[in-house]
Structures are given as C-alpha cells and as structure tokens.
Amino acid sequence: MKGLLKNLGLILVFLAALILIACQFTGNVNNNVILGLCAFMAVGGLVLYIVLNKRLAD
C-alpha cells in the first residue's frame, strides 16, 4: 500500500498524459474542460508526488 501511495502522483501524471493522447487521436483537442482537467491532474500529480515522497521518506 505504501508503494502505491508513493507513486500516486506519477499515476495522476500518467493518466493525464493518456487522456491527452486519446483526445489527440479522437480529434477532441479544442475542449477546454478536458485540457484544463489534464493540466490540473498533471500539476497536482507533480505536487502530490513531491509532497508524499518527502513525507514518507521521514
């Protein structure tokens, strides 16, 4: 469980990238809601990754 928690931020970044790739293939790149959600997931995932790894390392 601790290993999954340490990688939760990276999983969010990976999911955001997958959603963006899927939108590119379907041609749905002009939807601001999807683009904003993916940007939020990517930035939030990076922050979550840094915070959780710093907290779990202590």
Mean pLDDT, the chain, rounded, equals 88
More confident residue, 43 or 31: 43
Residue 42: count other Cβ atoms within 10 Å of its Cβ.
19
Confidence of residue 30 (pLDDT cuts 50, 70, 90): confident
Distance CA 23, CA 53 (A): 31
Residue 20 is predicted with a pLDDT of 93
pTM of the model: 0.83
Residue 58 is predicted with a pLDDT of 61
In the predicted structure, residue 36 carries a pLDDT above the cut 70:
yes
